[in-house]
Amino acid sequence: MTIQEFKSACSTIEQEYKAKIGQAADLAAVEELRVAALGRKGALTELLKGLKDFSIEEKKEAGPLGNALKAALTAAFDEKTEFFAAKEINDELNKVNLDLTLPGYPVAKGHRHPLSVAQDRMTDILSRLGFEWAEGPWVEDEKHNFDLLNIPLHHPARDAQDTFFVDGKMPLVLRTHTSNVQSRYMEKHKPPLRIMAPGRVFRNDSLDATHSPVFHQIEGLYVDKHVSLADLKSDLTAFMKGLFGNKAEIRFRPSFFPFTEPSVEVDVKCVFCQGKGCNVCKGNGWIEMLGAGVVHPNVLRNCGIDPEVYSGYAFGMGVERLAMMMLNIKDIRTFYENDLRVLKQF
Ligand code: DAH
C-alpha cells in the first residue's frame, strides 16, 4: 500500500461511514456500524494495521491522519447514540399523556398547634430574660412533687381528689405541677440558677370547659444572693409586657402557696375590654395569669441550698390559660380534640 492509497482509503472510509451513520435507523444499527468501522476487525482497524509497513517518514504523515479519522468517526457515533437515547425518552413520554407544564398538586402544609405557639412565645421571652430550659419527669415521687416543696402530708393538694397516684412500691404520682423541676434542679445545681421548665402536668379533674386532667405549665425559678420580691416584680412585669405589649397593666395580689413566702398572684388588665369588664374576664376587668413568690426558706434548705446565703423567686403559669386568652378560645377542650376545622383557624 502506498501512502496515496492509504489517504484515499481513509477518505473512502470517512465518507462511507458518515453516510451510513446518517441513515442508521436505531441504536442497534449504530452499534453494528461502530463495530464494523472501529471494532477489532473493523474497516479502520484493518487499514491502520497497514501502517507497520510504512517507512518512518510515511508513518509520520499517515499516523496522525489515521488518528484524526478515528476521532472523527468516534464523535459521529457518539452523537448519533445520544440522539437515539434522547429520542427513546421522548417517544416514551409522548406515549403517555403527560403535560409537564401543568402545576403540581399542592401538598397540604401543617402548622404548629396553638398550645405550642403559646408556649414558644412564653419561653422565647423568658429566654431573653436569661432563663435556661429545664425539664423533669411526668411520673414523679412524692418527695419532689410535694415534700421538698414544703407541701406537708395533710395538705389538701395531696388529697386523692387532685392527684393521680401511680400503683407501685414507691409512692409515685403524676406530677401535679411543673414545680417538681424546682426541687430536682436545686438538688443538682448550686446557685446562681435561673431556669424555665415548660411541660405537661396532671390533676384528677374531669374534663369540662375550663378543666382538663392533663394540661401544661411553665415554671420559673431564679436563685442567687439578694434575690427579692422586687426582682420578681420587675422580671414578671417585663415578661407580661413582652407577652401583651408595652401598655399592658399588671397587678400583684397577695396569695398563698406552701413553697413561697410571701406569695403573690399576678393579674393582667383584660386585653379584650381594657378593664371595663367583658365575658373573657367575667366582668372583673382583670385576668389571673400566674402564681409566684419568694422561695420559702424551707424549700431551699430541703434542696441543699443555704437560705441564710441565698434567696430566690419562683412562678408557675398555665399555658392553656394564656393560649385561651390570646386566641379568645372559650373551651379548653378545643385544644385536645384535634378538630382540624378548628385548628386550621389559628
Ligand atoms: N405550682 C403552682 C400550681 O400548680 C403554681 C406556682 C405558684 C408555681 C407559685 C410556683 C410558684 O413556682 O412560686 O398552681
Tens-place pLDDT, residues 129-160: 999 999 999 999 999 999 999 999 888 878 77
H helix or E strand, kind and range, residue 195: strand 193-202
Neighbouring C-beta atoms of residue 129, cutoff 10 Å: 16
**Bond prior to 198 in cis (omega within 30° of 0):** no
Q: Any idea which architecture 114-343 has in CATH?
A: 2-Layer Sandwich (3.30)
Mean pLDDT, all residues of the chain: 92
Q: What is the pLDDT of residue 335?
A: 94
Contact 288, 309 (CB under 8 A): no
The verdict on the CB of residue 296 being under 6 Å from ligand 1 is: no
User: Please, which pLDDT band fits residue 337 given cuts at 50, 70 and 90?
Assistant: very high
Kind of pairing, strands 193-202 and 172-174?
A: unpaired
Distance 315 CA to ligand 1 centre (A): 5
Cell representation of residue 171: 409512692
Residue 236 has pLDDT above 90, yes or no: yes
Atom 12 of ligand 1, nearest CA residue? 315
CA angle 207, 173, 131 (to 5 degrees): 85
Handedness of CA 33, 38, 39, 43 (dihedral sign): positive
Ligand 1 contact via 150 beta carbon (within 6 Å): no
Query: What pLDDT, on the 0 to 100 scale, is given for residue 160?
Result: 74
Q: What confidence tens digit (pLDDT) does each residue in 288-308 have?
A: 999 999 999 999 999 999 999
Decide: 260 in ligand 1 pocket, CB within 6 A: yes
The predicted pLDDT at position 110 comes to 87
Q: Name which residue sits closest to atom 5 of ligand 1, judged by CA.
A: 316
Three-state DSSP class for 233? helix
Q: Is 132 annotated as a binding residue?
A: no
**According to the model, what pLDDT value does residue 282 have?**
84
Do residues 206 and 167 lie in contact, with contact meaning Cβ atoms separated by under 8 Å? no
Task: Taking residues 222-238, report their average pLDDT.
Answer: 97
Residues 127 and 43: their CA atoms lie apart, in Å, by 80
The arithmetic mean of pLDDT across residues 159-178, rounded, is: 86
- Segment 50-68 mean pLDDT: 92
Is the dihedral angle over the CA atoms 20, 22, 28, 34 positive or is it negative?
positive
Mean pLDDT of 236-261: 94
**Residue linked to cell 385576668:** 287
Q: What is the pLDDT of residue 170?
A: 72
pLDDT in tens, 82-125: 999 999 998 888 888 888 899 989 998 888 999 999 999 999 99
| pLDDT value at residue 45 | 93
Output the nine-digit C-alpha cell for 180.
417538681
Asked if the model's pLDDT at residue 230 lies above 90, the reply is: yes
Contact 140, 171 (CB under 8 A): no
Give percent of the chain with pLDDT exceeding 90.
Answer: 73
Confidence band for 322, pLDDT divided at 50, 70 and 90: confident
**Ligand 1 atom closest to Cα of residue 317:** 5
Evaluate: CB of 293 within 6 angstroms of ligand 1. yes
What's the DSSP call for residue 218? E
* Span from the CA of 92 to the centroid of ligand 1 (angstroms): 69
Give percent above pLDDT 70 in the chain.
99
CB-neighbour burial class of residue 157 (10 A; exposed 0-12, middle 13-18, buried 19+): middle
Q: Which residue ranges make up each domain of the chain?
A: 3-95, 114-343
Beta bridge partners of 197: 219
Atom of ligand 1 at shortest range from CA of 201 = 4
Residue 316 Cβ < 6 Å to ligand 1: yes
346 closest CA partner among 320, 331, 328, 319: 328
Tell me what pLDDT residue 60 has: 92
pLDDT digits (tens, 9 = 90+) for 187-205: 999 999 999 999 999 999 8
Higher pLDDT, 157 or 6: 6
